[in-house]
Structure formats: C-alpha cells, structure tokens
A and B are shown apart, each in its own frame.
Chain A
C-alpha cells in the first residue's frame, strides 16, 4: 500500500512539470495562434544550459536558473521578432505554416545540440541527487521535491502575472479577442513578444526541472512534446487550472502504468490516449 502511495505521489510531483510545459505552450497557442514545436527543444536547451556550468564549474542548477530565465525570455522574444513575424506577413495560413516552420527550426536545433554535445544521454548530477526526504514512511527523492517546487513556483508566478498585473490583463485580452483588444488600445505587437518571452522562459525552467529527474538528450524533445500535447489537449487551452489538472493526471498515468505494464508500453498507452482524445474532439479540446 505504501509503495502504491509512493508511486502515486511521485507521479503527481512529476505531473506539475508537465503542467508547466503545457502552460507555456498554450500561452503561445492562445495568444499568437502558433503551434510552437520548438517549445520542447528550448526546454532541452535549458537542460544543457544547466548541465554545462554544473559539470565544468560545479555551479548549482538553481543558481544557473537566474541566468537561464532572462536569457530564454530574450530567446522567446527573438523567436517572435525574427522568423514568426516574417512568416506572419507572408502566409495566409499561419497555423499550418508556423507548424512547418517551427518543426524545421526544432529539427535544426536538435541536430545542432547533437553536433556540439553528442547525441548521448546526460544526467544532472547535483549534490542532492540520490538523497531523499522521508515523510510518514514515504520517501521523496530530493531532486523530485526540488523539481516540483520549481514548477509550482513558476506556475504560480505565471498565474500572478496573468491575473494580477496590467500587462497580464492585456495578454488575456488578446487571447480572448484579438480585434477587440487592439480596438481598446492594446499594443498587439509588444504583448505578443512578451508572451513569447514568458512562454519560452517557462520552457527553460521546465527543462531544468525535467533534467533534475530524467536523463536527457537532444532527441528527447519529441517525447516531451507528446506530453505537452497530451496536457494541452486534455486541459484545454485557456485554462491554467485545466493544464494543471491534466499535467497531474499525465504524471499519475505515466507512473502508475509502469506498475502494470512494461515501461515501453506505457508510452504507447499515452499515445493511444492522446489519439483517442483527438478523435473524440476532432478540433481538439484545444479549441476554446
């Protein structure tokens, strides 16, 4: 029984990171109508950005995070100001073209990382890796607890930004009604740029949180992307609560399924779940 509880709780802890990935992804989807395939590759990039200083100079990943957040915010803004803006002006069908565009960019970035840092798996080996916290007879690996805290704090921060700041209000306005927001004097361009910044910065944090628990390599972003789709489609775009619940559920399913079926099949279970979901709601629960 204790073992069962243990598996469930660690699944829930894991789920918050999936939720964070999903929240960032759906921010861009909601505000800019772009399915950003590069979201997970930026998470992997952040994992490497945390890995190298730790490996070379023994810096703590949490310290490095202070640099990662502004850097990835900037990368997000650049992603928007560069290729996406260029595309916006040229294409009649932004949804599909941006999918192909970001797919190409993700593919290039993945192979760039494989070229620079080898395609082999890496592990964040922090001073607290391997230690665990015991509570009521249940053991929590410290890395999992830190990863959980990181994700929760970031989700709360995004929530506070969206619902308790003036700028966040503008973001939500664009999300709900683009034309209406522009008519009321919202600067569409800068709001979209900031949304990209926030989303990619959150992807960076999520990447570090993932790297604390899992080994990572450049090619893993496709796997993470599938978790993201699952969370976003299940939770529905536009609802932070939905993404949160869907993320927790995903983590739970991943961990519990390992108890009953071999690990490789648990991925298949998730794929089938996602396919089923899309077939029940052909436009995706994505469509608000």
Chain B
C-alpha cells in the first residue's frame, strides 16, 4: 500500500473545506458531512480491522460511548462537543483498553463474535441506566447558530476529523508499528516468533481505532437533536464500518474512502427512492458479494486498471 504524503492529505482537506463557500444547500451539506463521517469511521475501523486482520463487529460501542459522553457533558455543564468530543474519544479509548486485552487474546471468528456481543451488552447497559436517559433517550440542546452556519461548522469539523484520521492512519501504517501489524495479519505466530510484541501492537491499533471512532461519535451526537441507545449503538453502524472498509478494500488507504463514498450515495438514493429496509437488504447482499467476488475490494480493481493503463502507455512509448 502506498500512502500519499501528508501534504497531499492537507491539500485534499483544504480543497474539501472550500466546498461550503459555494453555498450548497443545507441538505447537500448534511449529506456530505455524513459521507465524510463514514469515510473517517471506515478509516479508523481499518486501523484495527484492516491492518491487523482482527475484524471488529462492535466498533459502534466506541462510537456510542463518544456520543453519549459529549451529549451528557453538554447537558450537564454546557461544554461544547466541538472540544469535548476529544474527551469522548479518550473515554472510548479507555473502554477499549479495558476490553481490548481479553478480547484480543481471541482469534479470527471468536474475536468478531465477542466484539459483536460486547456492543450489544453496552447498549443494554446504556438502555437501563437512569443517568444516560435510558430508553427515553436524551434531547440535545440546539447549537447556538442558524441552520446553515451549524451545518457548515459540522461539515468543516468532519473535514478536519477525516484529515486527522488519515494522518494518524498514515503515521501508524508507515511507522514501525504498521510493519508489525502487517506481520500479524499475514501470520501472527511467525510474527511472534521473530520477536514482534504482538499483544502490544494489537492493543495500540485497537485503542487508536477506538479513540478516533469515539471522537467521531462525539461530534455525531451533536449533529442530532435527540439521541437514543437504539441509534447511537445501532449494530447497523458497525456493519457499515466493516462493509465500507471491505467493499472499498481494507488493504489500501483510499479503499475505505471509496467504500464510504460509494455506499453512502447508494444508500441515500435507495432510501429516498425505495425504502430503508430495501437498502439494508441490498447492503447485506453486497457484504456477502464482496467476500465472494472481490475479496480485495473496489480499490484492487482501481489499482489493477491503473497498472494496466501504465503498461499500455509504456508499450506505446517503447
């Protein structure tokens, strides 16, 4: 996998950040914010799921922890989620540290199952606590700006987060840690045998991934007027993270981005034109289809066609 330089990521982010100056509609801005959010989520999921091969089906737990942290702090102390979302991330990271050690001792399907169950368990806890609003949910105070400004602020925040997540993912992947994580994905026993501290590396990847997911969740809850455990801990969000990363291609940096963009557009069109359930049926089938027909995701197709073009070009020149 070739990561772009950090300058490329920054230029891309600045380019994206300029979009609101063209005064798009509020709907368009919300749609793009969600698209960027899912791109950031899929990229953070990929740090644990794609680099190490430990497929977590329970990342929504970190998302929800982040979201509830900012919402509760906003209601109790009027602290703005724009900065408390980092606290939400820290709390999610703390939670990941607690559960990560025992979970990461499990391999393959067992790990996926336990993370799935863990997310369900966290949802049950939040649903039954009084201080989280329980099953009646929480009303979030409205941001103090007019609708368009609010949407622009959320959009810019998401652009910033996506760039941040990409830079973190880049640093991890290109650094020594990334080499170790790839070794773990390819063959964990061999990695251990050549002296890689696999437990430590897996924990770093898992906690970083959880931290970023928590930060994004913290901002997401601020974008809503009302949150409920059913939506902040919706297993569908976990499914989306896995699906987007795998669909785009978990082995490349831009895979999760393509995956998120494609699936968000498909989801929006299907939900508007047919029905949400129809969209989900299709997503389930896409997930199955990705495993069957393109295990390396869309990005593999892109990479293949690019190298083919290069070959053709080289032949013409030569």
A interface residue numbers (CB < 8 A to B):
35, 83, 86-87, 90-91, 93, 95-97, 99-112, 114-115, 222, 226, 229, 262, 264-265, 267-268, 271-272, 274-275, 278-279, 282-284, 286
Contact = CB atoms under 8 A, between A and B. Distances in A.
A106 B285 CA distance: 9
A108 B281 contact: yes
Given A271-B121, A278-B114, A103 B287 contact: yes
A275 B118 contact: yes
15 contacts: A95-B108, A97-B291, A99-B108, A104-B283, A104-B291, A107-B239, A108-B283, A108-B284, A111-B280, A111-B284, A112-B277, A271-B124, A279-B102, A283-B110, A284-B106
B128 A99 contact: no
Contacts of B128: 262, 264-265
A278 B55 contact: no
B160 to A, nearest CB: 32
Interface residues of B, number: 41
Given A96-B112, A100-B242, A108-B281, A279 B287 contact: no
B275 interface: yes
A262 B291 CA distance: 41
Nearest to A89: B292
B117 A274 contact: yes
B127 interface: yes
Given A102-B288, A114-B277, 5 more contacts: A96-B108, A104-B289, A115-B278, A278-B110, A283-B107
A35 B110 CA distance: 10
A38 to B, nearest CB: 10
Nearest to B236: A107
Interface of B: 55, 57, 102, 105-110, 112-114, 117-118, 120-121, 124-125, 127-128, 235, 239, 242, 246, 275, 277-278, 280-292, 295
Contacts of A226: 117, 120
B112 A99 contact: yes
A32 to B, nearest CB: 13
B109 A95 contact: yes
Contacts of A271: 117-118, 120-121, 124
Contacts of B106: 278, 282-284
